[in-house]
Structure 1
């Protein structure tokens, strides 16, 4: 049923306000600022430890741990949106969806990398078009390939606007990097929350069940 509803959404079309999305993402962050930034600090700490003491395994850490960890921001965003109490362990619940989330990150990045290396433009297209793939798996219950495809098809409807949205995400996080990386403790959660809010706005009637 969800796939049919997504098809209807694509046929009907949609629009969104980028500025409004990020303003609401900031408000969402302010509801759990300490826990959001503390979790981001935890992720950074893992990455730093891997780089300093496990250099041979640093890449593996990024491949196997990053997907479920960063997915935790989406799950927390969902709880905040539903006005449910957030506790710190909620950020780690991405591990409950390890197989689909890991598969999406791995396969999606491999396909995107091939597109970038071979043709550039297809790689950029896919990098943007797969933005909702993890969310499709988490909240739509799709397997990894269906999640990738449903994300691609939905975002393609307004790809240029999603490209602008992605550019804003990049700029915000670059500003975070420029503040001696400390700004990323805020900008990364905010940009993940923004992506969730946009996804929820477009699909809340589809995945309401």
Structure 2
């Protein structure tokens, strides 16, 4: 498999999932501004959306959209318990979390990364994001992870959003459950491996 990614982008979520799943994969760095791969290929010919992540399967098929990709990765390594079984009530709960993270957190971050957007508009989105994090905080009470005791691909995705909050100067220190989850996920060896690889790639770029 081949993962098209950009260091620090939302593609970190499937990158973490691949490490956690123990699946062999190749990484292809993408310059999202230039829409070029590290070899200079036109990325829009690979994904006309111009976005990462993209997962290329061994068959050559391309899969886009992070929440779909991480579930596919989890299903390819069912023994790792990165997602509950398809069709189970728990799987629908996982999908609920993935949808919440992608629509209520992920997309609300977009304006914070745009230099042309005024600070007052960014502050509006910061407040909105914080309200969404407050909900996640309440649901983590008494749990190690979003689904309970077991780490899943939803935790990897939420971790990336918590990293983005840190990157954009958002203070979430009042949310003790979220901060504990962030530390718990960051301490996982496979997460450290993904973060280290992306940090090295960023330095080399």
Of the two structures, which has the highest relative contact order with CA contacts closer than 8 Å and spacing of 6 or more?
A: 1
Q: Compute the TM-score of the two structures, normalised by the length of structure 2.
A: 0.32
**TM-score, normalization by structure 1:** 0.32
Higher strand share: 2
